[in-house]
Amino acid sequence: MRQRVAITGVAVVDERTPDVASWLADEAEARRLSRICQLTVAAGRRALADADLDAQGGLAVLVGTEFGDMVSTISFVDGYLSRGPGGLSALLFPHTVMNTMAATTAIAVSAKDLSLTLSALTVAGELAIARGAAAIRAGRVGACLAGGADEPAPLVMSALGEAGAAPELRAAGAGFVVLEALDGARARGARVLGEIVGAAWRAVPARPHRIGSTASSRAIAAALEEAGGHAAEVGRVYTSANGDGPREEWERALVDAALAPHRPPYQSPSVPAGRHSGLAAQSVASAASEAGDRLALVHAVARGGNQVAIVVRSASRAGATALIP
Amino acid sequence: MKPVAITGLGVVSPFGAGVKAYWEGLSGGVCAIRPITLIDTEGFRCRIAAEVPRPIAGSARRSRADRLALAAAREALDDAGVDRGDREDAAVIVGAVGGGMLEAEAWHWRRMRGSAEPVPRPLASSFPSAHADVIGSTLGLAGPRETVVTACSSGAASLAMATDLISDGVVPLALAGGVDALTRICFMGFNALRLLDPAPCRPFDRDRRGMSIGEGAAFVVLEDGARARARGARVYAELVGYGMTGDAFHVTSPHPEGEGMARAMRIALREAGVAAASVGYANAHGTATPQNDRIEARAMRDVFGEGGLLVSSTKSMIGHTMAAAGTLEAVATVLALVSELVPPTAQLETPDPEIPFDCVPRAAREAAVEFAISNSFGFGGQNVTLLFKRAG
């Protein structure tokens, strides 16, 4: 049976968050974790606390990321380059694999269901949330932490710039929403922030690292169809603005075309502070709290054509008002 | 879970390009683990790996990993007879870890040693997600596009995720698989962890001393079963169940009792409604580290009981190909069902008495098996079991 997907918790942390350390178990955990893993673990614990949920009933973790822990990866490599084989750190090596943030978060919160790291340019956090929602809708998992994490490494950013990549506003941070089957959330008396009523991801024709020449896309229509809604019901759009002007123009064209002739207001949590994959959680949570009696669309598209659309309903429209304490 | 048909296979392995070369190598018990030529190994205890032999198809402007991936993906789509029209709705899901890191490392090495060489453009494609963009764009796959990183189980996870999309009715067809080229980081890291055997690895052997690494790519076409039959596609096997679990225990060590591994196997059986006794073959993760093989065997014993199940590790021939491993081994499992021949565990001379299974030493074994599993486990306690059923 298909499940309804409730949003019951959210947390986003970044370098400006004052109390990240207070969400780590102890100094030993802080020492063991790289900075991006600290941010991810802190965001995961805070989101679960916000949802008043633990992993006892089963919990999955889905983390979207653009680059993973490149800061640790570069440190690992530079250990060799400066001191030869003796300079290699066995402790740093696991952090060179992108799933390190999901793995350390799963360990920290004892999440033993599936754990997925999804790597994608620009859309990684939205993709992880869409995947998480699909897993709950299909009954494959009962609850999940879904979101993302990024930490721009200066060497990587400068190399990408030299290689001709588009300039982007980037920040370090992590964020999650807690998603649960609505029935399960109701049964435990959870506060419901809203509901993901549709999610879809598709590719728009475009060459790698390029924007496409078409404004025609399918993800938004597919997400609306799953939601049982239509373009006229969309009251707000949360985009993946990241300072890459041509890509942002393309995103607007894609959304405009999909929702035409309606023109709901656009906003993005990543401007002006910079974007990281965890901000997808903030977009979804904002959509849930601000949609009112309309639907809200969380949208992201990457150079290369990867596109994600998530349709969110606020708690009042989800018929869950009575559950809010 | 709704069974999903496997209708196309594509491989680039240390035996060369193509499924035929791969299966000939595996079924012949040939070890492709040799001295490394791609990277400098001076000063390291282990200096061998299973490299893909030259030539590798594709433009030299692409990363080695992109070329491996594209070649395997093309073969799988052609094998399945998927035409351009069918591709528009098809998903592409890639398991990847290293991306184009081999080339990025080379540039960084030179730059750190004083070279003023500008950053080559392909470096912008050095992240794992590049493969899916390159495959999707080049081969015209316009459905959902994903890159999954679950360390050494990534290739298996990609098949599970594709199965979800088909079972949920999101897409009728998916191309899923894994790819990794050899990288310095991987080679140096496993050396730093002292997990590499200086000689070709010996899974399940009493005297095993660690793993060998490798490289390659494999893709499969997965399809809604009814659709595949309707279009008259050849069905190699069905993916009837999978389990994906997390240990939540340690970033590099598996749970000492194999709890998460066993749970993944049980979930796969439960999803398929298949009894443990019906499974005749397990293509093990079988890395040949003392710890992994012992724990995996314990988990399999907990699920399947002692004996009965044939178990082999094809890593004994092609090494551990990282993100490609889960798909290369899934292909080996499917071909074992199709050909009624279980590939061997090469270099297995003295079976470990703690491994209570027939691990098919050195020579392939004829066996008509109806159900077979492929296990893949990764750093972070990322466990994936795929359960296949012989077509028919």
Domain ranges of chain B: 4-390
> In B, residues 196-235, which contact A (CB 8 Å cutoff)?
none
Distance in angstroms between the alpha carbons of the first and the last residue of chain B: 18
A173, containing H or E segment:
strand A173-181
Model confidence at A324, pLDDT cuts 50, 70, 90, reads very low
Q: Render pLDDT for B97-141 as a digit per residue (tens, 0 to 9).
A: 999 999 999 999 899 889 888 887 777 778 999 999 999 999 999
Partner A contacted by B90 (CB < 8 A): no
Chain A residues within 8 A of B381 when measuring between CB atoms: 103, 106-107, 115
CA distance B2 to B8: 19
**Residue A253 to residues A263, A283, B193, B362: CA-CA distances in angstroms?**
11, 20, 50, 60
- Which of the following CATH numbers is that of domain A196-317: 3.20.20.70, 3.30.300.20, 1.10.357.10, 3.40.47.10? 3.40.47.10
- Which of the following CATH numbers is that of domain B4-390: 3.40.47.10, 3.10.580.10, 3.10.20.30, 3.30.43.10? 3.40.47.10
Interface test with A, best of B147, B184, B383 (most A CBs within 10 A): B147
Among A12-26, A262-276, B159-173, top mean pLDDT goes to B159-173
Count of C-beta atoms within a 10 Å radius of residue B109: 16
CA distance B20 to A298: 46
Report the top-level CATH class of A5-187.
alpha beta
B176, containing H or E segment:
strand B173-180
> In A, residues 276-305, which contact B (CB 8 Å cutoff)?
304-305
Q: Mark the ranges of chain B whose per-residue pLDDT is less than 70.
A: none
Mean pLDDT of chain A: 94
Whether A202 has a pLDDT exceeding 90, the answer reads yes
Amino acid found at B373: I
Cβ atoms of A262 and A234 closer than 8 Å: yes
A243-264 average pLDDT score: 97
DSSP assignment string, B340-356: TEE--BTT--SB-TT--
Of B144, B148, B380, the CB nearest to A201: B144
> In B, residues 352-381, which contact A (CB 8 Å cutoff)?
378-381
Model confidence at A318, pLDDT cuts 50, 70, 90, reads low
Domain ranges of chain A: 5-187, 196-317
Interface test with A, best of B2, B46, B133, B385 (most A CBs within 10 A): B133
Chain A residues within 8 A of B170 when measuring between CB atoms: 134, 200
Active site residues of B: 152, 285, 320
Model confidence at A323, pLDDT cuts 50, 70, 90, reads very low
Is the Cβ pair A164, B380 closer than 8 Å?
A: no
Q: Render pLDDT for A210-223 as a digit per residue (tens, 0 to 9).
A: 999 999 999 999 99
Whether A322 has a pLDDT exceeding 70, the answer reads no
B16, containing H or E segment:
strand B16-17
- Check residue A320 and give its pLDDT: 46
- Check residue A321 and give its pLDDT: 42
- Check residue B235 and give its pLDDT: 98
Q: Render pLDDT for B333-343 as a digit per residue (tens, 0 to 9).
A: 999 999 999 99
Interface test with A, best of B94, B149, B190, B379 (most A CBs within 10 A): B149
**Is ipTM over 0.90?**
yes
B9, containing H or E segment:
strand B4-13
B47: three-class secondary structure by DSSP: coil
A301-325 average pLDDT score: 76
